[in-house]
Amino acid sequence: MDTIFDDLSRALTAPRVDALRPFRAIALDLAAKLLMGVAIGLGVGIGMAIAG
The predicted-structure confidence for 7-16, as pLDDT tens digits, reads as follows: 778 877 777 7
Residue 2's pLDDT is 65
Provide the whole-model pTM. Answer: 0.59
Alpha-carbon span 7 to 23, nearest angstrom: 32
> pLDDT tens digits for 15-48?
777 888 899 999 999 999 999 999 999 999 999 9
Neighbours of 28 (CB within 10 A): 10
Element containing residue 45 per DSSP (H, E): helix 21-51
Residue 26: the pLDDT is: 95
Quote the radius of gyration of the chain (alpha carbons, Å).
24
Average confidence score pLDDT of the chain: 88
Per-residue pLDDT, 10: 80
Q: How many residues does the chain have?
A: 52
